[in-house]
Amino acid sequence: MTQRIAILGAGVMGETLLSAILRSGQPAADLVISEKREERAAELREAYGVTVTGNAEAVADAEVILLVVKPQDVAALLDEIAGSVRPQATVVSLAAGITIATIEAALPDGVAVIRAMPNTPALVGEGMFGISPGTSCSSDRVDAVVSLLESGGKVVVVDESRQDAVTAVSGSGPAYVFYLAEAMIAGGIEAGLDEDTARTLTAQTLVGAAKLLAESGDTAEELRRRVTSPNGTTHAAITTFDDRGVKDGLVAGVAAAAARSAELSAPA
């Protein structure tokens, strides 16, 4: 079933969602994206065959509205579109730190609001979205947004009080993996590999390990144990990590990210 979708924001994530939704089978005629710069607008029309217009025009007939702008731009955007949003529309905000209550207060009564935290692997169709429905959002609307966002990856529904944890684990999470990858590549080079080989080995190992974790049904701990033979090479590495406090550092880092997310979400 098709629906009229407006994407407000033509940056990297906005274009990523546009591309993913089109790949899922949504007709280009049912999508509209907002972009003020004419050169960029022309690029999007040429690449995707969609309508590109201003914010208020984009939302006028939309059933689902995706807010994909920087957090500091949300207030002005809501002021601009509030008079054009249909009462039966669903507004999905992907702006970090902006609460459902803030968005609901700026829009007409009855407009359904969903807060979503994406991550960058949506660029390759392997994103993770944590979404939280607002007070006016029926289960049918939640299901429709889940189906829509699944075009770019996987979706979990959580209470808004858990959004800081979602941000810390999956929103910021790709950076933790890239941080690990940097270290693995550097270690490979130090052990004698050239950089290209070290990168290839690292990237595919991370891809394979992530797929195994996602699909095997086993815990991360159990999968690690299967690779770690007593007194073997992996045991030597894990023991060194533990001695250096790597695991404790990662746990503390995730907690710090969650705390910072809470600070950013708090009223000024």
Mind listing the pLDDT tens digit for each residue in 86-117? Answer: 989 999 999 998 999 999 999 998 899 999 99
Q: What mean pLDDT do residues 57-63 have?
A: 94
| pLDDT at 118 > cutoff 80 | yes
Domain 5-159, CATH among 3.30.360.10, 3.30.70.2740, 3.40.50.720, 2.60.40.420:
3.40.50.720
Range in 103-107, 194-198, 224-228, 263-267 the model is least confident about: 263-267
Q: Is it the case that residue 55 has pLDDT exceeding 80?
A: yes
**Is the pLDDT confidence value at 144 over 80?**
yes
Q: Reply yes or no on whether the pLDDT at 51 is more than 60.
A: yes
Give 268's pLDDT tier (boundaries 50, 70, 90).
low
Torsion of CA 239, 245, 246, 251, to 10 degrees: 130
In this prediction, residue 2 carries a pLDDT of 60
Over residues 193-215, the mean pLDDT reads 98
Bridge partners (DSSP) listed for residue 97: none
Domain residue spans in the chain?
5-159, 171-265
pLDDT of residue 91: 97
Identify the CA nearest to 33 among candidates 44, 21, 22, 46: 44
pTM: 0.92
| Cα(221)–Cα(247) distance, integer angstroms | 12
Class assignment of domain 171-265? mainly alpha
pLDDT at position 136: 86
